[in-house]
Each structure stands twice: as C-alpha cells, then as structure tokens.
Amino acid sequence: MSAPMLELRGVGKSYGSRAVLRDVNLHIFEGEFVCAVGYSGSGKTTLMNMIAGLLAPDKGELLFDGTPIQGPSLNRALIFQNYSLLPWLSAQRNVELAVRERFPELSSAEVREHARRYLQKVKLGHALDRRPTELSGGMRQRVSLARGLAMEPQILLLDEPLGALDALTRAELQDEFVRLQEQEHRTILMITNDVDEAVLLADRIVPLSAGPGATFGASIPITTSRPRDRRKLNDDPCYHHDRKAVLRYLLAHGPQDTARAASRRQQRSAVMSSALEVTPV
Ligand SMILES: Nc1ncnc2c1ncn2[C@@H]1O[C@H](COP(=O)(O)OP(=O)(O)OP(=O)(O)O)[C@@H](O)[C@H]1O
Ligand SMILES: [Mg+2]
C-alpha cells in the first residue's frame, strides 16, 4: 500500500490547562474523501488549524507527504466555517486572488479563465461580478468552494463548510458536493457535526469523541454504494448500517462523559465547600 498523504501521530493540544485533543491518530490516502464527525466544541477547528499549519501541536507529529507540517502551504487549502471572502472584491476577483497566488506563472487572461471555470463548476457563472454582500449564504459558500477547488491543492480541508446554511440550502450544496466529487476525485478532509451529511459524502468517517481530551475512534468505512442519491438512501440498508455505526460511537463517547466529569467536579466542590464551612474564620 502507498504511503498516506496526511498522517497524524499521537497529536495532542491544550489551551492553557484545558486539554482539547489527546492522542489523535489519522491517515488519509490520496483520492480519499474522509469526514471527521464530532460534537460542537470538541476541537474540530483546532485540529483543522493544525493540519493547515496555522497552529502547532503540543504533542505528537503531523506529516504531509512524509514531511512534518511546519506552517501553511498552498498544497493544503482550508475552507473555513464562515465564508472568509474579501467583501470588497467580486466573486470572480476573490477566486482570482487565490489562483494568482497558487499559479504565479499564469497570465492575467489565464487566471481569469481558470477562476471563471471553477465558478461555473459551482453554478455561479451568472454571478461573477457580485460582491459577497450581494450573494446569499449558499452562494458565498459556493464561492469559497470554487476558490478552494481552483487552487487545486493536494488536499482540500473543509471545516464545516455547510454549517452556517439553512437546511434546504445545505441539502442542495451537499448534492453539489456529491456531483463535484464524482467529477473531480479530490483528496478531501471534511469536518462536520452532521452524521447524515458525512455518510452521504464520505468514503470513510472518523468519529471524534466529545472533549475535553477528544480523540478519534476507529475509522468507519462507508459501504453505501456510489453514485449516491439522497432520495434513494432511505431504502438502502447499507446507508442505515453506516449511519448506525457512526451514531453508536458518538453516543457512546458523547457529552455524557463531560456530564459525568461535571458531576464529579460538583461533588468535589460540594466537599470543598463543606470543608470551607467548618473552617474557622
Ligand atoms: N485560541 C483559543 N484559546 C483558548 N481556548 C480555545 C481557543 N480556541 C478554541 N478554544 C476552546 O477549545 C475547544 C475546542 O474549540 P474548537 O473551535 O476547536 O471546537 P470545534 O469542535 O471546532 O467547535 P464547533 O463545532 O463549535 O466549531 C473549545 O472549548 C474552545 O472554547
Ligand atoms: Mg469549529
């Protein structure tokens, strides 16, 4: 088997005394679409920022193509939870800016054409000249996606790219992702808190336990066959099997651990306060 494109070994990260991630291990191979699914606040963005090279781990190693990740690279494009477009530039110019940085050898006309091609892929050919404020949330996220794809990175990192959208727009963009991935076969790591979304899109799901000290469970291969059509999934026993496997992990490693920890903390603080009450003033 070939070497993984991305490899995380025993990665840990704390903010001050708060351990957010512990012993995170992950392998991603070229051409895979992997979804990491986890609870809100468990450390998903922290993990993505480390893979993007924006944040250093406290423990462990992150390797890309066998080399330690030491900073950002155009080979690892990150699409954020919120669209992060430059508000004073049109959709076309937002994409062009990234294309120019990634492919400095292209002429202005080639950059324009390259950017336009990707905006057309995400069905925004009619809105090239509009600024972000003139676009709906779904359209803005399409621009972000076009920008990420147009950079043609070795791996596309998507941090809850559909999280800020209403349910209908979200479903529409999920279908768009399915279609694009069938055409493009990119290597993608996507983070989401939506199990159905993950099963619809991924080749493999890595479930993240709830923090503090969140970590990945064993990876769950998605057996639901492709091409996937959301309207038919409900009748597909593989889909239900995959969905259940992910939910089972998440429910077993969910915030009840935190609740237990909170209840232990409460008990400890009750003991502390009664100790304080008997302390002579
Ligand atoms: N710079 C920071 N300093 C201190 N604490 C932080 C910092 N960034 C994140 N945290 C804390 O670390 C934990 C994980 O944050 P993170 O943003 O990685 O979670 P997440 O899984 O992406 O959450 P969400 O699903 O809401 O996006 C949270 O408790 C958060 O408050
Ligand atoms: Mg996040």
Ligand 1 centroid–CA 150 distance in Å is 29
Q: Where are the domains of the chain?
A: 28-51+155-281, 84-152
Q: Which residues line ligand 1 (CB under 6 A)?
A: 15, 20, 38, 40-46, 193
pTM: 0.89
Residue 18's φ and ψ, nearest 5 degrees, are -90, 110
Fold (topology level) of 28-51+155-281: Rossmann fold (3.40.50)
* Cβ contact 252:232 at 8 Å: no
Report CA(258)–ligand 1 centroid distance (Å): 15
Select from 17, 20, 54 the residue to mutate for testing ligand 1; criterion: most ligand atoms less than 8 Å from CB: 20
CA 191 / ligand 2 centre spacing (Å): 8
pLDDT score at 260: 61
Q: Which two tokens stand for residue 32?
A: 């895979």
Pocket test for ligand 1, best of 39, 40, 46, 48 (most atoms within 8 A of CB): 46
3-class DSSP state of 188: strand
Q: pLDDT tens track of the chain, all 281 residues?
A: 689 999 999 999 999 999 999 999 999 999 999 999 999 999 999 999 999 999 999 999 999 999 999 999 999 999 876 768 999 999 999 999 999 999 999 999 999 999 999 999 999 999 999 999 999 988 999 999 999 999 999 999 999 998 888 899 899 989 988 988 888 899 999 999 999 999 999 999 999 999 899 999 999 999 999 989 999 999 999 999 999 999 999 999 998 645 566 665 566 555 444 443 333 32
Kindly tell me the sign of the dihedral angle through the C-alpha atoms of 49, 55, 61, 62: positive
Structural contact between residues 32 and 7, judged by C-beta atoms closer than 8 angstroms: no
Residue 210 and residue 221: Cα distance in Å, rounded?
21
